[in-house]
Amino acid sequence: MELKPPDPESVIIWFVIGAFATWGGIVRFLLQEKRTMNKGKTVKSAISQIIVSGFTGVLGGLIVFEYGGSNYMVFIASGIFGSMGDVGLLYIQSYFKKVNNNHRIM
């Protein structure tokens, strides 16, 4: 199988999706810090929040792509799911658990 290089437009789209997802993680971290007034948060907790939010944001963007959304809707979903972080990941997991339970073959 021959691998083809991606076209420049798709590389830019995926870069923007990742940027919105991680930006959402930064926003979530800053909002949590402001809400709890806990200034003892470490760089490690900020990085872990950004990693989780980046992953969740990309998954949210992929879901919107799957349902035929425009690039702009994908960017919006990536940012929103990125700002949701672990809550968004639990939402995505519960959706797929429902789908699997409804289509179980026994």
Closest CA to 22 of 64, 73, 72, 81: 81
- Whether residue 81 is contained in a domain is answered as yes
- Whether residue 36 is contained in a domain is answered as no
Tokens 């993680």: give the residue.
Answer: 25
- Whether residue 28 is contained in a domain is answered as no
Amino acid letter for position 47? I
The model's pLDDT over 12-54, given as tens digits with 9 standing for 90+, comes to 988 999 999 998 888 888 887 777 666 666 778 888 888 998 8
pLDDT higher than threshold 50 for residue 58: yes
Task: Residue 2: count other Cβ atoms within 10 Å of its Cβ.
Answer: 3
Residue 3, exposed/middle/buried by CB under 10 A (0-12, 13-18, 19+)?
A: exposed
pTM comes to 0.75
- Please give the average per-residue pLDDT across 77-98, as a whole number: 87
Give the range of the structural domain holding residue 68, as residue numbers without chain letter: 43-99
